[in-house]
Structure 1
């Protein structure tokens, strides 16, 4: 399920969706906030262009909303249902989760978005 050649591998690792040989991002650490969304222009292994068209990643904002909701629901379930916290603490847990995981949510959203349009090509890895 999480092996090379699957979309899930590319989404989780942020690797090239075509060859999965290298990271799309110039800096691997998403918490380096000035470089969170900086991506390479092309894959150095298979020459896939990451910015398919101008403003391509604007669509990732819609995915980001869904991913943020998933993180917020997880924070709610953990704080309210499992830890039995009161409403204010639950609200703070949700907001805190969204703030702390913001760089990861943004990258995951971009990874999901580009993987909706590009698929793994195993012939590129057998060169």
Structure 2
């Protein structure tokens, strides 16, 4: 389930959705806040272009909203059911959860969005592994 060739692998690790050989981002660490949203123009291994059109990643905002709600609900469930916290503590835990995980939510939303439109290609991945692909 979580190995090369799966969408989940590409989403969680932030690698090229076509070949899974290189990171889409200039810096792999999402907490390097200066470059958290800097996506490369294309994959240097297979040549896949990440921005399919101008303002392509604006659609990732919808995915980001859904992920934010999911993380907020998880923060609520943990603080309410596990720690039996007060309403104020629950509110603080939700805000803290969203603040701490904001860079991950942002990256995952972009990765999910690009993976909706670009699919893994086993043949290209094999050619890239064997260095038999010509750069575009």
Is 1:110–2:110 an aligned residue pair? yes
In structure 2, stretches of 5+ residues that fail to align are 128-136
Q: C-alpha offsets along residues 37-65 of structure 1, whole Å, 9 cap, x if unaligned?
A: 00111101100001110000000000000
Shift of 1:68: 0.3
Question: Which position in structure 1 is the counterpart of 2:38?
Answer: 38
Question: Which position in structure 2 is the counterpart of 1:79?
Answer: 79
TM-score by length of 2: 0.92
In structure 1, stretches of 5+ residues that fail to align are none
Q: C-alpha offsets along residues 8-42 of structure 1, whole Å, 9 cap, x if unaligned?
A: 10000000000000100000111111100001111
Q: C-alpha offsets along residues 73-116 of structure 1, whole Å, 9 cap, x if unaligned?
A: 10000001111001000000000110111100000000000000
Equivalenced residues, count: 127
Cα distance in 2, alignment partners of residues 51 and 117 from structure 1: 10
TM-score by length of 1: 0.98
What are the equivalent positions in structure 2 for 1:1-127 lying under 5 Å apart? Answer: 1-127=1-127
Cα distance in 1, alignment partners of residues 35 and 125 from structure 2: 28
